[in-house]
Each structure stands twice: as C-alpha cells, then as structure tokens.
Amino acid sequence: MDPFPPMRLPSRPGATIKRIYLCRHGETAANYKRLLQGKGIDLPLNDRGTVQARSLAERLRNEKVDFIGTSHLKRAKQTAQIIHQHHPRAAWLENEDLAEISWGSWDGTDTSEIETLIQKWDRGDFEAAAPQGESPFAVEIRSVSLLYDLIYSRSENNLVFVLHGRLLRIILSSLLNRNLSKMDSFRHHNCNINILDIEILDTPSSSSPLSLSPSSKNLAIQVLGKDERRTAGTALRHPSNIRVTACILDDCSHLTDFLL
C-alpha cells in the first residue's frame, strides 16, 4: 500500500497544521442486512466487521496518532478500541455528539420512505427528518461544533475519529464545502479512511464566529437562525481562521475485496 501523503505545511508564519483521520466503523448485522442503523440501534461488530477493524488498525499502525475520538455506540467504540491497541498512549474521547444521525421510527428497518427524505435533502431541505428522527442540520450542529472545538482546543496534532456513515457525509460536506449540499457525493465504506489537514491561521477574536465561551474553556460556534441556514445550506457560521483541505477520501486500500 502507498503511504499517506505528508501533512501540509503552514501557509504563513504562526499558523498551525493538524491532521484528522475520519474513519467509519466496521460492519454490523444491520449493515449486512442493509437496514437503517442510526443512533437508536446499538449493535456490536459482526465477524467481518471485526476483521475490517483490524485491517484499519493495521493501516494506521505506523501513523502518528495521539488522539482517538469515537461515539458511544458499540460499533464505533469497538473499532476505535482495536485502533487504540496499536496506539495505547493516545488520548481517548467517547462522546455522544459523534453518534450517527437518528432515523427515529425508521431505525432498524429497510423502509423505502428514506428515498423521499433523501430527495428533500437533494433539494436543500436539511431540516427534513425521519419521523421522530434528526435532521442533517441538527446533526451538523452537534457534531461539527464539537470537531471545531477539539481541533482548536486539543494539544494533539494527529487525531483519529471513528464515526458513522451518514454522519461522515454531513461532516465532510460541512467542513470541506461549508454547507451540506454535497453530502451525498461522499462515499463511506465500512472502515474507510478520510484524511483532512486543518490549518489554524490565528487565535480568534471575541467577535469571530469561533470564540471562547465565557462559561468554559471550550469554543462556541455560532448557530445560524432558521432563515439564514436555509439560504446558506449550513446551520453553522464556520470560522474564517480555519482552513480544511482533503488529502484522501474513502481510502479502502487496506481492505480486500472480501471486506468491502
């Protein structure tokens, strides 16, 4: 397998570069049966998913990894734990804001109604959701806000996140395009790897969209009002001092045909 490309160099003095690896969890029984599997479904990896996770961990074995983040759901957490075995000193974070979208009453089903919902998203209606489920805007608010916070506030420079399929599409479109219009252009095989280099240009001022929360050391991302988000195609005011570049998308070179 070819090595990953080297981390980009800062574009100006004082800028900082961080690399994030966004990976999908291994296969579960619901994946195998092609059922909707949102955050209301908490299945472990199946046998093939475990082998996929080991292959992913082996691909990342020789990379510098000093932070591993995962959702609380078994399929992501088990995959992350297998990666962590090769990087036992890496910091560990488990956070529910990194969970998959909720498909509400559709979770665990193969309903064809999902096609109508995706058509709404294709038309730019990112407030649309499954019955009792989450919208892409709601997922973007919780997940991308957390990622910006971690990217900015963590001291580590090489961060691995083990995430979920629809969540990855939302995150990649939000970070790379600053809106959700491209989310269905991103593929997400089980245990794939997406590599993004993040350049932090400077420290944000109190008037920046990325600012220190007065009640904590965490960062606060401004959430747009409903009218503004419909026009912008994003629920967030993305920070102007952070630039995101895709290095690799949906890398599956570590997976054999049997594992795809």
Does the annotation place 75 within a ligand binding site?
yes
Does the annotation place 24 within a ligand binding site?
yes
Host H or E run for residue 221:
strand 219-221
Question: Torsion angle, CA of 104/109/111/114, rounded to 10 degrees?
Answer: 50
Does the annotation place 26 within a ligand binding site?
yes
Does the annotation place 31 within a ligand binding site?
yes
CA distance 227 to 57: 43
Q: SS3 for 143?
A: helix
Active site residues: 25, 100
CA distance 63 to 14: 25
Does the annotation place 94 within a ligand binding site?
no
Does the annotation place 28 within a ligand binding site?
yes
Does the annotation place 237 within a ligand binding site?
no
**Residue among 159, 154, 179 at smallest CA distance from 169:** 179
Q: Would you list which residues are annotated within the binding site?
A: 24-31, 75
**Which residues are known binding-site members for substrate?**
24-31, 75
